[in-house]
Amino acid sequence: MRAVRHLVAVLVLGLAGPLAGQSAEQRVRGAEIRLNSIPDRGEVRGELLAATGDTLWVEPARGGGLMPIAFGDVVTARVRAHGAGARWTGKWVALGWGVTSLGLFGACQQVDGFCGGVPLVVAIPWGLIGGIAAWSNESGTWLDFPRERFPELPGYARFPQGLPEAMRP
């Protein structure tokens, strides 16, 4: 019974953080973008605010205020499609390994007194499956946009309908 209480506590605490940790401010941000081959600026990284007409409106990560960038000045753009990269996947794999290890260790203790190797044996499949999932998530995190695909960028902006008048310089 004690093992079941520990398992429930781990599940509740493990799920409470990721579910409650996303604030409203995080949900309304535009995608992170990296723009390459910009004259006199090199690479620009920041949040994509809007993509209207022939201009990308970016808030640079290093500060400096709103930056309008003409489509013609950019060769390629990389957009972060989602935040489920290797680190995020690793956290869930570790949680799954912990819960599985605790559950099997508790079950083994009911039958046999020697169960010290259960967490190690459980770690092997969790590590293999988790490693493949982390690699897959990380490789699909960034989307490349050549110039001919720039009309698709508004879907990743904070303001897909265009930059509000109050924000225009």
**Model confidence pLDDT, tens digit, residues 84-143:** 778 888 888 888 888 888 888 888 888 877 777 888 888 888 888 888 888 887 777 888
51: tokens are: 């993509």
Residue 64 has pLDDT above 80, yes or no: no
CA gap 83, 18 in Å, rounded: 12
What topology is assigned to 31-81+143-169 in CATH?
Answer: SH3 type barrels. (2.30.30)
Placement of tokens 């989307």 in the chain: 143
Please state whether the predicted TM-score (pTM) of the whole model is above 0.75.
Answer: no
pLDDT over threshold 80, residue 74 = yes
Q: Indicate the domain borders of the chain.
A: 1-25+83-140, 31-81+143-169
For the cut 80, the answer to whether the pLDDT of residue 25 exceeds it is no
